[in-house]
């Protein structure tokens, strides 16, 4: 039986080889970068402690993955090696000490410090200044020919410009998908029902390794140079930093963040600087690369099997980790917004333990395609709220779908989801405990019931002390209940009670506004009051009835209908009326003598001879109602240029349709 340590090393190697294939060859990683780094670190440590088990085919001795057969193979004349990693200042100090000792230096070394871009390594071969070939890194010795795809990347020059261009030069760099482009791409993909990328690196690799270059051309990729491989007949500086500046002069992109740093402390200072700036950069980075700047010293230091001795990657703390999605809870915000929250198997991300993460809304759940029980990627950039950025596994047979509730988990009122809106909301605004403070504050506000002295702090105090649960409870308060509360003396308590009692006499419009119905502001509340005259009539109104009101479209009509069909909301309204809230009875406007009285008009399309507001005002002056939508109760539709769905609906309902000239003639006729 083989040694247990050797067995563990063999198992780690097989595991890492499979992850290399998933990551480099298929662009479909099933673990996070940080988890991969840990596995590779374990293997290196074991091989270091037990060198008798080290073999040349170990992943610790190799670069990247295999080359896919669908691509033409490219032999790199100068191998494209990987980099060794360090994860803390102590290990970086060890690297600097090793380099100094090997070079027998007594002075501090100068390093070129560069952001470590998280993308796909690429080699660009130029002859006489012309781009003739592009290849992936592959396994470091053999890569894939992706020339046609690379030529679609906008910031890669096909011809170098400037002076002293070498006969042959091979530029090494990274292809990335910039952060803004990545987010925009995923938004469009989700909208179209296409697959979304888990991260920008995966997006760049998957986009570049396409057999059809037209697909690559439609992906927002960018390239940044970080070094030179093969070179012939060239007179270049002896400084790595200066060589990068020379590449920039020839038209090749180089990141703006490259810097010259001296000694260990200079490198550590740069690390802190770039770590702080990480989330403001246009591209994703996962660390810093320090390279001995002097090229002759680089050559003196040479290479080990898979990495140069003169460079090291200083990795940032992981912003992404993987864990298991245990469950999803649905929280109700102060405004009724329903937010799904992922319950996670605790995981350490970005310096903190994470056990919960926002899933934002139902659209995001559908975009991610995740289920309860999945292995997911949790991301925490800077100090932002952790969120799930993707799934790393196929759904297991035991995985459960995430079902968005139809009723509020707090008050059981209907959840309102308007088509085209991402946020779903509880419609029990007057009753829902989660919305209690917000609803009461709005009810008492100056433009609504105007209860003087009942500001945010007082409302919070009354709710926290369980003195009020709904706006109706305000009218049951007694002064003695308030006296003794924080900063509440007899005089202030009496003033608040007097203000509450005074507010009982209001107007129908202000009462409707105070109910806090979504998107019903002062003007809409006034229009609803003047149109329906009574609360009972408004309660009974259907969508078509509501849309006959000025400035009430389909969405606002749905908000109103949702609100009045919640039993709990009606209970609170009844309690308010029983408490004595009242308003003068409204009378219908005397418009029956006007020529267009009781006629409903709809304006659609573009009017060229008069403004729509003028047309609306003129029709209303003649007694007409001007609605925002077409219904069976519409009498006439005025169709301007480029009239759309409203015109089609009017035609389907066989409603009278007139053009702008006919409208003008009508207005002139009745204006005489």
**Cα separation, 400 vs 504, whole angstroms:** 51
- Are 228 and 169 within 8 A, CB to CB? yes
Contacting residues for 272 by C-beta, under 8 A, at least 6 apart:
none
Q: For residue 438, give the nearest of 417, 410, 480 by alpha carbon.
A: 410
For residues 445 and 519, state if they share a domain. yes
- Sheet of 120-127, strand order: 130-136, 120-127, 168-176, 222-232
- Which pair of tokens denotes residue 45? 């440590």
Residue 124 lies in a domain: yes
Residue 17 lies in a domain: yes
1, pLDDT greater than 60: no
Contacting residues for 383 by C-beta, under 8 A, at least 6 apart:
none
Q: Please, which residues bridge with residue 236 across strands? A: none
**Cα separation, 647 vs 154, whole angstroms:** 44
**What Å distances lie between residue 491 and 93, 363, 406, 428, 488, CA to CA?**
69, 52, 46, 35, 8
Residue 396 lies in a domain: no
Mean pLDDT throughout 48-62? 74
Place of tokens 């759904």: 395
For residues 327 and 235, state if they share a domain. no
For residues 109 and 52, state if they share a domain. no
Mean pLDDT throughout 270-285? 90
Q: Angle at Cα 433 formed by Cα 428 and Cα 434, nearest 5°? A: 90
Contacting residues for 207 by C-beta, under 8 A, at least 6 apart:
177, 215, 216, 219, 221
Domain holding 429: CATH number? 1.10.150.20
- CB-side exposure of 517: number of CA atoms within 13 Å? 30
- Going by pLDDT thresholds of 50, 70 and 90, the confidence category of residue 23 is low
Q: Which helix (H) or strand (E) holds 560?
A: helix 554-564
**Cα separation, 120 vs 24, whole angstroms:** 9
CB atoms within 10 A of CB 401: 10
Q: Which helix (H) or strand (E) holds 464?
A: helix 456-464
Mean pLDDT throughout 494-511? 94
Residue 76 lies in a domain: no
**Structure confidence at residue 672 (pLDDT):** 61
pLDDT tens-place string over residues 326-346: 999 999 887 888 999 999 999
Share of the chain above pLDDT 70, in %: 94
Average pLDDT over all residues of the chain: 87
**Structure confidence at residue 170 (pLDDT):** 96
Domain holding 23: CATH number? 1.10.287.610
For residues 325 and 294, state if they share a domain. no
- Are 361 and 422 within 8 A, CB to CB? yes
**Cα separation, 519 vs 516, whole angstroms:** 8
- Are 555 and 419 within 8 A, CB to CB? no
For residues 94 and 223, state if they share a domain. yes
Residue 287 backbone class (left: φ over 0; alpha: ψ -120 to 50; beta: rest): left
Mean pLDDT throughout 385-393? 76
134, pLDDT greater than 60: yes
Domain holding 115: CATH number? 3.30.470.30
Domains in the chain, number: 5
Q: For residue 495, give the nearest of 510, 482, 505 by alpha carbon.
A: 482
Minimum mean pLDDT range among 60-69, 515-524, 595-604: 60-69
**Cα separation, 177 vs 422, whole angstroms:** 26
CB atoms within 10 A of CB 413: 26
For residues 89 and 174, state if they share a domain. yes
Residue 66 lies in a domain: no
**Cα separation, 560 vs 554, whole angstroms:** 10
DSSP 596-644: TTT-EEEEESB-SSS-HHHHHHHHHHTT-EEESS--TT--EEEE-BT--
**Domain endpoint, select from 559, 588, 617:** 588
Domain holding 366: CATH number? 2.40.50.140
**Structure confidence at residue 230 (pLDDT):** 93
For residues 559 and 437, state if they share a domain. yes
- Which pair of tokens denotes residue 453? 């002295």
563 exposed, middle or buried (CB, 10 Å; 0-12, 13-18, 19+)? buried
44 catalytic residue (yes or no): no
Cα 653 → chain centroid: 42
301, pLDDT greater than 70: yes
Mean pLDDT throughout 397-408? 90
Domain holding 621: CATH number? 3.40.50.10190
For residues 44 and 135, state if they share a domain. no
Minimum mean pLDDT range among 139-153, 574-588, 615-629: 615-629
- Are 631 and 547 within 8 A, CB to CB? yes
pLDDT tens-place string over residues 429-446: 888 888 999 999 999 999
Q: Domain of 28?
A: 4-61
For residues 457 and 531, state if they share a domain. yes
- Going by pLDDT thresholds of 50, 70 and 90, the confidence category of residue 226 is very high
- Going by pLDDT thresholds of 50, 70 and 90, the confidence category of residue 214 is confident
**Structure confidence at residue 618 (pLDDT):** 85
Residue 35 lies in a domain: yes
Mean pLDDT throughout 198-223? 84
Residue 500 lies in a domain: yes
Share of the chain above pLDDT 90, in %: 45
pLDDT tens-place string over residues 354-381: 888 888 888 888 888 889 998 888 877 6
Q: For residue 34, give the nearest of 347, 272, 371, 283 by alpha carbon.
A: 347
Greater confidence, 621 or 61? Answer: 621
Residue 46 lies in a domain: yes
47, pLDDT greater than 80: no
**Structure confidence at residue 66 (pLDDT):** 56
- Which pair of tokens denotes residue 362? 């139902």
For residues 432 and 543, state if they share a domain. yes
Minimum mean pLDDT range among 20-29, 246-255, 385-394, 517-526: 20-29
**Cα separation, 668 vs 672, whole angstroms:** 6
**Domain endpoint, select from 299, 315, 331:** 315
Q: Dihedral (C-alpha) 581, 583, 588, 589: value to the nearest 10 degrees?
A: -140
**Cα separation, 476 vs 458, whole angstroms:** 16
Minimum mean pLDDT range among 456-460, 524-528, 581-585, 595-599: 595-599
CB atoms within 10 A of CB 622: 18
Coil, helix or strand at residue 64:
coil
For residues 40 and 143, state if they share a domain. no
Greater confidence, 65 or 424? Answer: 424
113 exposed, middle or buried (CB, 10 Å; 0-12, 13-18, 19+)? buried
pLDDT tens-place string over residues 93-123: 999 999 999 999 888 999 999 999 988 999 9
Q: Please, which residues bridge with residue 494 across strands? A: none
- Going by pLDDT thresholds of 50, 70 and 90, the confidence category of residue 325 is very high
**Domain endpoint, select from 535, 566, 588:** 588
**Cα separation, 354 vs 357, whole angstroms:** 8
**Cα separation, 467 vs 457, whole angstroms:** 14
For residues 161 and 309, state if they share a domain. yes
Of 44, 116, 259, 646, catalytic: 116
Coil, helix or strand at residue 223:
strand
- Going by pLDDT thresholds of 50, 70 and 90, the confidence category of residue 221 is very high
Q: Dihedral (C-alpha) 301, 305, 306, 312: value to the nearest 10 degrees?
A: -30
pLDDT tens-place string over residues 565-616: 999 999 999 999 999 999 998 776 554 567 888 888 999 998 988 888 788 8
194, pLDDT greater than 80: no
- Are 637 and 646 within 8 A, CB to CB? yes
Most confidently modeled range among 15-19, 65-69, 414-418: 414-418
Answer whether 0.85 is exceeded by the pTM: no
Place of tokens 């297991």: 396
**Structure confidence at residue 92 (pLDDT):** 95
């Amino acid at each position: 039986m083989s040694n247990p340590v050797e067995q563990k090393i063999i198992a780690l190697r097989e595991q890492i080889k499979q992850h290399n294939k998933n990551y480099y060859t298929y662009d479909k990683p099933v673990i996070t970068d940080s988890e991969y780094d840990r596995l590779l670190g374990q293997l290196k440590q074991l091989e270091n402690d037990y060198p008798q088990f080290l073999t040349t085919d170990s992943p610790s001795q190799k670069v990247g993955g295999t080359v896919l057969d669908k691509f033409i193979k490219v032999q790199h004349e100068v191998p494209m090696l990987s980099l060794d990693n360090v994860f803390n200042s102590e290990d970086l100090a060890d690297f600097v000490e090793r380099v100094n000792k090997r070079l027998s230096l007594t002075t501090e070394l100068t390093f070129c410090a560069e952001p470590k871009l998280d993308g796909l390594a690429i080699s660009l071969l130029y002859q006489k200044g012309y781009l003739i070939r592009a290849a992936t890194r592959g396994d470091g010795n053999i890569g894939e020919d992706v020339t046609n795809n690379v030529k679609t990347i906008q910031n890669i020059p096909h011809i170098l410009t400037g002076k002293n261009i070498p006969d042959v030069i091979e530029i090494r760099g990274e292809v990335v998908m910039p952060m803004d482009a990545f987010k925009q791409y995923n938004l469009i993909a989700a909208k179209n029902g296409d697959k979304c990328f888990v991260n920008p690196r995966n997006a760049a690799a998957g986009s570049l390794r396409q057999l059809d270059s037209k697909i690559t051309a439609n992906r927002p990729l960018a390239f940044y140079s970080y070094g030179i491989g093969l070179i012939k007949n060239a007179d270049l500086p002896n400084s790595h930093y200066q060589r990068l500046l020379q590449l920039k002069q020839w038209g090749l992109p180089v990141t703006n963040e490259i810097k010259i740093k001296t000694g260990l402390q200079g490198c550590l200072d740069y690390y802190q600087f770039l770590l702080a700036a990480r989330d403001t950069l246009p591209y994703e980075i996962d660390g810093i690369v320090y390279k001995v700047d002097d090229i002759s010293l680089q050559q003196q230091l040479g290479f080990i099997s898979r990495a140069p001795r003169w460079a090291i990657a200083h990795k940032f703390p992981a912003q992404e980790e993987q864990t298991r999605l245990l469950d999803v809870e649905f929280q109700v915000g102060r405004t009724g917004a329903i937010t799904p929250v992922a319950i996670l198997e605790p995981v350490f991300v970005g310096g903190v333990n994470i056990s919960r993460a926002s899933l934002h809304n139902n659209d995001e759940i559908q975009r991610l395609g995740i289920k309860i029980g999945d292995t997911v990627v949790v991301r925490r950039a800077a100090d932002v709220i952790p969120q799930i950025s993707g799934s790393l596994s196929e759904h297991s047979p035991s995985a459960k779908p995430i079902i968005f509730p139809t009723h509020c988990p707090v008050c059981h009122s209907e959840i309102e989801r308007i088509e085209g809106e991402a946020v779903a909301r509880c419609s029990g605004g007057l009753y829902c405990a989660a919305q209690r403070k917000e609803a009461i504050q709005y009810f008492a506000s100056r433009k609504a019931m105007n209860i003087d002295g009942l500001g945010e702090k007082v409302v919070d105090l009354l709710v926290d002390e369980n003195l009020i649960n709904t706006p109706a409870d305000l009218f049951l308060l007694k002064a003695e209940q308030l006296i003794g509360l924080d900063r509440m003396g007899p005089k202030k308590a009496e003033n608040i009670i007097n203000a509450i009692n005074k507010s009982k006499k209001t107007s129908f419009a202000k009462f409707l506004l105070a109910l806090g119905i979504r998107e019903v502001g002062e003007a809409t509340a006034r229009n609803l009051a003047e149109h329906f005259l009574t609360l009972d009539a408004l309660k009974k109104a259907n969508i078509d009835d509501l849309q006959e009101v000025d400035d009430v479209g389909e969405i606002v009509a749905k908000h109103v209908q949702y609100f009045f069909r919640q039993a709990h909301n009606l209970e609170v309204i009844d309690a308010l009326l029983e408490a004595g809230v009242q308003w003068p009875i409204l009378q219908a406007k005397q418009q029956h003598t006007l020529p267009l009285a009781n006629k409903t008009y709809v304006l659609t399309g573009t009017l060229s001879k008069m403004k729509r507001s003028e047309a609306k005002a003129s029709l209303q002056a003649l007694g007409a109602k001007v609605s925002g939508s077409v219904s069976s109760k519409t009498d006439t539709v005025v169709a301007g240029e480029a009239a759309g769905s409203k015109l089609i609906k009017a035609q389907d309902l066989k409603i009278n349709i007139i053009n702008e000239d006919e409208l003008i003639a009508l207005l002139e006729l009745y204006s005489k």
